[in-house]
């Protein structure tokens, strides 16, 4: 009798789980979304401005155009220019811009039209140092996963003077493989503080996906960046938000960025070290 009762409970639960639910979400007010960065290498760096949209909106994300944007390091002010005036919503520095370690950079945004009642926004980011990458190598593990896993290893001396946070990007034949924030690799120095990182695995590539894996003859470049704890936490929260199970997770909320006045997103600054290897 108990077995029959349990059987009917399981059937009822399964049926309940397949019931169609129509979710109606209220329209919320728009927020300014900032996605921008500067680095220690010379180059033209971008800041993209958009507005948040309703969850079920089928329209492209609105771009914020004709804004006035500048970056200040406490001594100098660098004005950014819209890549296509009044169209793109993407603003860039001059091509000879290079951030300097140890400085705090403040992004200032002035809008022509208010978003959520504000026309002025600001975000600040400190540009930390990064340790020197001595070398990298790749190794294929055929026994891992369904079709094997490639790992990228690094050799470098961890400074050990304080808690450091790192961001890793991987390039295959000059093309960025870690091209979205969910693919970025981040780490602190909890297990390596002050030690020599002797062949530490930092990137794992699934050989099952052609767009993700690497092949013998490929040139691989690893970019190791020194980032702030705030940016480390931001990336970590974005990555975690993609794995929530709705019925068992906490209430939804915007990932904490560093933009004031109700803006969301992040303006980051970081330094880089690079190393290359040929896959054999």
The pLDDT, as a whole number, for residue 162 is 83
The pLDDT, as a whole number, for residue 201 is 96
For residue 110, the cross-strand partners are 68, 120
The count of residues in the chain is: 280
Q: Which of 66, 59, 71, 63 lies closest to 82 in space, CA to CA?
A: 66
The pLDDT, as a whole number, for residue 25 is 47
C-beta of residue 156 within 8 angstroms of C-beta of residue 137: no
The pLDDT, as a whole number, for residue 211 is 79
> What distance in Å separates the CA atoms of residue 210 and residue 280, rounded to the nearest whole number?
17
Predicted structure pTM score: 0.84
The pLDDT, as a whole number, for residue 224 is 98
**Positions of the chain with pLDDT under 70:** 1-28, 54-59, 242-253
The pLDDT, as a whole number, for residue 217 is 95
């Amino acid at each position: 009798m108990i077995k029959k009762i349990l059987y009917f409970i399981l059937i009822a639960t399964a049926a309940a789980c397949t019931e169609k639910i129509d979710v109606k979400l209220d329209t919320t007010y728009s927020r300014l979304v900032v996605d921008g960065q500067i680095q220690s290498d010379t180059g033209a760096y971008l800041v993209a401005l958009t507005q948040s949209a309703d969850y079920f909106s089928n329209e492209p994300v609105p771009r914020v155009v004709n804004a006035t944007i500048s970056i200040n390091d406490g001594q100098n002010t660098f004005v950014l220019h819209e890549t296509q005036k009044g169209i793109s919503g993407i603003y860039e520095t001059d091509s000879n811009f290079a951030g300097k370690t140890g400085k705090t950079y403040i992004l200032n945004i002035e809008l022509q039209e208010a978003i959520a009642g504000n026309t002025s926004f600001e975000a600040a980011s400190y540009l930390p140092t990064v340790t020197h990458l001595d070398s990298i190598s790749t190794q294929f593990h055929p026994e891992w996963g369904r079709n094997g896993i490639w790992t990228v290893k690094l050799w470098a001396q961890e400074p050990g003077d304080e808690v450091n946070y790192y961001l890793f990007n991987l390039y295959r034949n000059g093309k960025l493989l870690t091209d979205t924030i969910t693919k970025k690799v981040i780490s602190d120095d909890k297990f390596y503080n002050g030690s020599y990182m002797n062949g530490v695995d930092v990137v794992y590539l699934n050989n099952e996906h052609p767009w993700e894996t690497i092949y013998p003859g490929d040139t691989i470049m690893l970019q190791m960046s020194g980032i702030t704890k705030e940016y480390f936490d931001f990336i970590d929260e974005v990555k975690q938000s993609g794995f929530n199970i709705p019925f068992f997770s906490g209430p939804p909320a915007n990932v904490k960025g560093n933009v004031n006045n109700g803006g969301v997103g992040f303006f980051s600054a970081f330094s880089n070290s690079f190393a290359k290897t040929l896959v054999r």
